[in-house]
Amino acid sequence: MKNIFIILIACVGLSGCAAAQNTTSTSVKTDSIAEKMLVYQLSNGGWPKQLEDKSVVKYEYPLTESLLQKIKATSALHATIDNNATSREINALVLAYKQTANKAYLQAAEKGVDYLLKAQYANGGWPQYYPDKSSYRAEITYNDNAMINALTVMLNIVYQINGFEVINTSYLPKAEKALKKGIECILKTQVFQNGKPVIWAAQYDENTLKPAKARAFEPASLSTGESVGIVRFLMKLKSPSTEIKTAIKNAVDWFDNTKIVGYKYGNIANNDKGLIADAEAISWARFYDLSTNKPIFGDRDNSIKSSVEEISKERRVGYAWYGTFAQNLLAKEYPKWLKSNGG
């Protein structure tokens, strides 16, 4: 007892009194990354992708006094689901709890789930940021799989998979409702062309559910990468309805009909990028016109061009304008799904 008292005296004023904690709580296992996630978690339960000074959140960085001050200065307005933020931490903390039985990790994960539940719109969509509604942050965001990541957390809770069986059972009905609403939003936002559903845009107006633009070079358009993520999510659903099956099939048909055979996007002369002939390549543009299915390309001046050569070099080399987005979906994943779902 005397030794513990001395340690307590010695650590007065130190953050967390780590020495005393190590002496009195040796039975509590910890995970170094999970410990940092606890520090970064915002008061509303979400996590930032950037701190107040716009520095990127990276858990490999040591928690120096300077960094701790930056974290402390970051308000809850920075909570987001962009760039895997919040879903990444929830997933990691659930697994860390399973490995350590440290209740602090589970509590933080559940607080993160609370944040996601609160951030979801009544129409089932998720904004890129919550509660910050400035600029395009309030739009329903499929971009970079933001909404799909949030929905996957709900699916994991409902299906009790990927470690989420440890989440308190009181979350089950909440997650079931959020999952149902999210799926309904996905089906409502599938773009129609001439009466037929095709794929999805990257973001939507949160009130009208119409495709919307984000950054200057990200016009309202059909978005291939995000749509592949949506289809993959829908294919995870058990006993899919006819409506879900139809949504998947129509999206896959669109990808099959629009694939670009014999070209890939890569480095060319003068440190530039463009389409390169490659007999084995199958590609898709990043964005397509909502009605004509022609590739479109945005620049920082809000202009929209019909070819990648027309945009500034900075944008040509700094953005993935083409990719193999749906290649595995068409070749492997969809055929496998069809076999299991009565193709």
> From CA 106, how far away is CA 164, in angstroms rounded?
10
Burial of 31: CB neighbours in 10 Å, binned 0-12, 13-18, 19+: middle
> From CA 77, how far away is CA 81, in angstroms rounded?
12
Amino acid at 29: K
Backbone angles phi, psi at 319, to 5 degrees: -150, 150
Residue of 168, 207, 215, 302 marked catalytic:
215
300 assigned to active site:
no
> Would you state the structure tokens that stand for residue 51, as one six-digit string?
């701190």
Residue of 44, 83, 102, 149 marked catalytic:
83
Residue from 302, 290, 300, 295 nearest 321 by CA: 295
> Would you state the structure tokens that stand for residue 31, as one six-digit string?
């995970």
Q: What is the DSSP string of 38-77?
A: HHH--TTS--BSB-TT-PBP-TTS---HHHHHHHHT--GG
Do 106 and 96 form a contact (C-beta atoms < 8 A)? no
83 assigned to active site:
yes
Residue from 224, 207, 44 nearest 119 by CA: 44
> Would you state the structure tokens that stand for residue 138, as one six-digit string?
């309030």
Backbone angles phi, psi at 143, to 5 degrees: -50, 135
Non-local (6+) Cβ contacts of 121 within 8 A are 127, 140, 185, 206
> From CA 68, how far away is CA 74, in angstroms rounded?
10
Residues annotated as catalytic (active site), given as ranges: 83, 215
